[in-house]
Structure 1
Amino acid sequence: MTADLSQWRTFVAVAEQGSISKAASTMRIDQPALSRSLRRLERDIGGALFQRGASGVQLTELGSALLPEAVELVAAADALAARAAEVVRSSTSRVRVGTLEYHPFSAALASTQRKLATEHPPVVLELAHLPRLGHAQALRTREIDLGFSLMMPEDLDADDFFAYQVIREERRLYAILPADHPLSGEDSLAPALLSGTPLILPDPKDNAGAYEQILSALTDAGYEAGAPVRVNRSLTDALQDVALGAGWTVAAGGVARNPMPGTVAVPLPSGILAGVHLVALWRAASEDRTVRSVVHTFRAELQSRRDERS
């Protein structure tokens, strides 16, 4: 039996991650299924690609010899898929976009959708409701063509899979508290003062890096959980939990300026995750001009809302 592309993709992922469990997490498949796929590949080609050990996996001589060509194969397949998608979209002008749950970004995206629908030729935005920090992963799995994420400046160029455009720089983040919280009236709030109050964060399954980055920054600033961190995939659900008194969460300025009823936003000290950027993300390999046009229109719509408020 001839090995298929998915098996070579599995091989490359395990080699890059150095761990079957990490590769399974990255590819969003369960570990037993990934292990079976890898064993089938090794059986099909007639040799072991990895040496398994307690500390992870190491490439065998055969694995080392095949890895460069496997990487090229996977990259070529991704480029071909991106090209095919671009050709299809050039005739249908459809862009799948991850949604933003908070004002004014949600309103700007809705007006972008209406405006582009009247263009000649029209561009149809198909909105996808995703976990709040799951857009990058959805781009990798080709669920969407354009997404948004909060990223630190040093992370922007760390992954050449993505092209990006900075939409907004958030100069400080906010603690979102229940409206009746004893500290809700503070002008600024050190995370240490919230120690013991349950913290609600994005699910690490959607973006483990962002989860660890936020939790680490708050811990370094003195926050001690004292209880398991609650996870919630939807920002709206997280804010509703806060309003019900289930804990507190961290959010950017857009949420703080338009708080959900039953919640208040209190600034965190300026050094905590300072300079985090809201960015538009798309696959660098596609270089899709339609996607860039959507980003340009969205930024213009967002700026018009800022001008109206000023």
Structure 2
Amino acid sequence: MLKEVQCFARVAARLSFSVAAADLGMSQPAMSQAITRLERATGTRLFDRTARAVRLTAAGKALLPHADELLAAATAFAAEAARLARPTIHLAYPPLVGALAARVARRLAGRTPAIGVELTVAGRGVASDALDRGEVSAAILTTPAPARFVTAARFHVSVDQLAVPLGHALEPRATIAPDDLAGQVLLTPGSRAWAGLPGRSRMVADDDFAAALDLVAAGTGVLPIPQLLARTIRRDDLRFVPLDAGDLRITYALAWARERVTPELMALVQAVQDALWTR
């Protein structure tokens, strides 16, 4: 019946049995037979046909929206079934590396056979707990990752900006050196202080730069931040000043539980490595 409904909708759109048949790769007699079967099944005449024209009957016009809904539902059903049949892997990642996570998802979706990727934004603590519970297959974590996890595909994000509140004494500087931070409160999203920087560290929510920036704007402290993130932020209550702190960086790695290795996980590892090499 679904095929007959598809034929009905196509003839209604084209108002031509021959053109509709060509669209669906059918012969014109086969198209006519499909419409006849549908008319018999419904007990309703759907088209008025003459040698020169094809027109929808009143019943055909009334049934056409329902046919369109049925075909749309069938298409959605087939798409969802295909998605469910496709192997899927769950990846947790911090917001800072969202662009990398998206590239990895596209790579896996484009491979043969395709692998679906469910992405979950999560800081280090939440992601680690999710790995322990098996809720995600892998996570991008700041290093060193907990020793119970296997890691690969390590990469670095340079930290070369300092977020300061509007009107802060450091705001007019063209460049800020580490010594300029003496006496400052340095906000730290994560579990470790900034290596090599003077000042007093204050830890904030795990990997949450957005929460840390709110604290900056409130005058609580200043925040070393990657330019990668700074250039995406538009706020009028703080400023980003270049920070010359040498090799200051945040290091990440892909981590997973050693007892949950699957072919899809290994494909994810390869996709992350490929994405890092080709960015």
State the TM bucket, normalised to the shorter chain. 0.5 to 0.7
Letter in 1 for 2:261: E
Q: Deviations over 1:40-91 (max 9, x none)?
A: xxxxxxxxxxxxxxxxxxxxxxxxxxxxxxxxxxxxxxxxxxxxxxxxxxx7
Is the aligned partner of 1:254 residue 2:233?
A: no
The answer to whether the Cα contact below 8 Å between 1:189 and 1:269 also exists between their aligned partners in 2 is: yes
Is the aligned partner of 1:94 residue 2:119?
A: no
Q: Deviations over 1:190-249 (max 9, x none)?
A: 26636354x4333xxxxxxx52x316x47xx43136xxx462343233234435655322
Unpaired runs of 5+ residues, structure 1, are: 1-90, 203-209, 306-310
Report the TM-score, using the length of structure 2 for normalisation: 0.54
Q: CA deviation at 1:293?
A: 1.6
Q: Deviations over 1:114-170 (max 9, x none)?
A: 33224333211111121255433332232321111222xxx46x71x2111133235
Cα distance in 1 for residues equivalent to 2:130 and 2:212: 20
Q: For this pair of structures, how many residues does the alignment match?
A: 191
Of structures 1 and 2, the one with the larger relative CO (CA 8 A, separation 6+) is: 1
Closer, same or farther in 2 for the Cα pair 1:265/1:150, shift >3 Å?
farther
Letter in 2 for 1:232: A
The answer to whether the Cα contact below 8 Å between 1:166 and 1:277 also exists between their aligned partners in 2 is: no
Unpaired runs of 5+ residues, structure 2, are: 1-84
Secondary structure of 1:97's partner? strand
State the partner residue of 1:168: 155
Select the structure of larger CA radius of gyration.
2
Identity %: 17
Cα distance in 2 for residues equivalent to 1:142 and 1:269: 38
The answer to whether the Cα contact below 8 Å between 1:132 and 1:235 also exists between their aligned partners in 2 is: no
Letter in 1 for 2:233: M
Report the TM-score, using the length of structure 1 for normalisation: 0.50
Greater per-residue strand proportion: 2
Closer, same or farther in 2 for the Cα pair 1:254/1:292, shift >3 Å?
farther
Cα distance in 1 for residues equivalent to 2:254 and 2:150: 8
Is the aligned partner of 1:236 residue 2:210?
A: yes
Q: CA deviation at 1:281?
A: 0.9
Closer, same or farther in 2 for the Cα pair 1:136/1:250, shift >3 Å?
farther
Cα distance in 2 for residues equivalent to 1:124 and 1:284: 21
Q: 4+ residue runs of structure 1 moved beyond 6 angstroms?
A: none
Closer, same or farther in 2 for the Cα pair 1:259/1:125, shift >3 Å?
same
Cα distance in 2 for residues equivalent to 1:222 and 1:100: 26
Mean CA deviation greater in 115-124 or 239-248: 239-248
Letter in 2 for 1:106: G
The answer to whether the Cα contact below 8 Å between 1:171 and 1:270 also exists between their aligned partners in 2 is: no
State the partner residue of 1:195: 183
Is the aligned partner of 1:281 residue 2:255?
A: yes
State the partner residue of 1:178: 165
